[in-house]
Amino acid sequence: MKQLLILFAILFSAQTMDAQQTLRQKKENNLWGFVDTSGKVVIDFQYQNVHSFYGDVTLAQQDSLWGFINKKGEIVVPFLFSEVQKYLNVKIVRAKKEGFWYLYNLDGALLIKDKFEEISPVITNKMTVRKNGKSGLIDVNGKYLIKPKYEAISYFGGNMVRVKKRGKYGYRTTENKRAVPIKYEDIGRFYGTRAKAKRKGKWGIIDNKGKKILKFNFEYIGEYIYDSYLQDQYAPYVYGTRVGKITSWGASVPFNYEEIADETKRIDENLVLFRFGKDYGVVDNDGRVVINPFYKNPIVFSENVAAVTNGEKFGFIDKTGKIVYPLVLDKAENFVDGKAKVVKKGVEMELERSDLEM
């Protein structure tokens, strides 16, 4: 019996030392393997790529596919994944197989049996997921916080989760309780307890219970940024012919465009270009808004029209802000001698002035 106990102790000690040994990556003949601290090869050079060990398991790539191996070179999870991403701070791995994403811990254990079309990066120990065309929210342990039943979900951190259902937006909490009713055409992220929201084509400000703070009368409300003068977050706004700032607590602070704009530049004798953050618009000499700050490029007119982009597609507007060619182009340059170079559906072509709805 004593000899058996001694033998067991020796075997257990050997296994423990084997598991605790430090291995480092090494490349030879364009393949990766692992060596110990003395330089002795422990795992042969056979992998296209490897990660460093975290505990007793790591990720390795073979024949362009990823899997999990242990310090003995044994396969823990087969080489099945076309793409992997390790999050050391939360000790998880997202891995893609045959077009779907799976969630594992660093030991190679599957955290949730479901497969997803998308798994977002980690934000405060939470991830948005997409399953069967619907979006939800899970934590890093693979537990559903909000089951996948929404058209879209956006999580920015904190306790509020923006959701979309039947084309409308609202908010739920990370505990899956209703916060803001799903009834808005669009809704921004929360800064403190305030967010911008859109109803019937107009913008207003609501709190985190959905209570109206500012009426839905604004043509435009931009993104919040820090204002050193107000010493708070603010969002630029357009209200009729006025421009101003809305503080994070919902107070409206009127400014003229020269004071609020991050940049101004005269276009011609009648019009002035102004910029709020990344959004460009145009006012006249009296400060009345002619073109709402919607476009992501400086508005430069040539032959009385300008190529503009919403950040995704390009089109053309005239000096009244009317869209004379819809924003459906991949790229567009201004007109020169009656023609403009554009790219539509990947094809380079030229537009003529007759193509515009003037």
Provide the phi-psi class of 141: left if phi over 0, else alpha when psi is between -120 and 50, else beta.
alpha
- Say if residue 222's pLDDT is above 60: yes
Residues 93 and 156 reside in one and the same domain: no
Task: State which H helix or E strand residue 20 sits in.
Answer: helix 2-20
* Residue 3 banded pLDDT, cuts 50, 70, 90: low
Residue 273 falls within a domain, yes or no? no
**What pLDDT, in 10s, does the model give residues 181-213?**
999 999 999 887 889 999 999 999 899 999 998
Residue 54 lies inside a defined structural domain of this protein: yes
| Token pair of 207 as six digits | 């709190």
In a domain? residue 253: no
Residues 109 and 121 grouped into a single domain? no
Statement: residue 125 has pLDDT above 80:
yes
Tokens of 347: 């094809």
Q: Token digits for 256?
A: 């003229």
Report how far residue 294's alpha carbon sits from residue 288's, in angstroms, rounded to the nearest whole number: 15
Hey, CA dihedral for 73, 76, 80, 84, is it positive or negative?
negative
Which of the residue ranges 51-60, 118-127, 166-175, 265-274 would you say has the lowest mean pLDDT?
265-274
User: How sure is the predictor about 288, in pLDDT bands with cuts at 50, 70 and 90?
Assistant: confident
Whether residue 194 contacts residue 205, with contact meaning beta carbons closer than 8 Å, is answered with: yes
- Long-range contacts made by residues 232-236, C-beta under 8 angstroms, separation at least 24? 233/191, 233/192, 235/196, 236/260, 236/276, 236/277, 236/279, 236/293
**Which of 167, 184, 201 corresponds to the end of one domain?**
184
Look up the CATH number of the domain holding residue 143: 2.40.10
The domain total for the chain is 2
Residues 124 and 138 in one domain: yes
Sheet containing 212-218: give its strands across.
Answer: 186-187, 194-199, 202-207, 212-218
The percent of residues in the chain predicted with pLDDT above 90, rounded, is 65
Q: Indicate if 27 and 106 belong to the same structural domain.
A: yes
Do 69 and 144 reside in the same domain of the chain?
Answer: no
Q: Which two tokens stand for residue 90?
A: 């939360």
Torsions phi, psi for 11 (to 5 deg)? -65, -45
Stretch among 12-26, 45-59, 64-78, 166-180 having the lowest mean pLDDT = 12-26
The answer on 110 and 122 residing in a single domain is: no
- Burial bucket for residue 116 (CB in 10 Å: 0-12, 13-18, 19+): buried
pLDDT tens digits for range 234-249 = 788 888 767 777 776 6
Q: What is the rounded average pLDDT of the residues 100-129?
A: 95
User: What does the pLDDT look like over 66-89, one tens digit per residue?
Assistant: 999 999 999 999 999 999 999 988
| Segment 254-274 mean pLDDT | 79
Which of the 8 DSSP states describes residue 287?
A: S
Is position 344 within any domain?
Answer: no
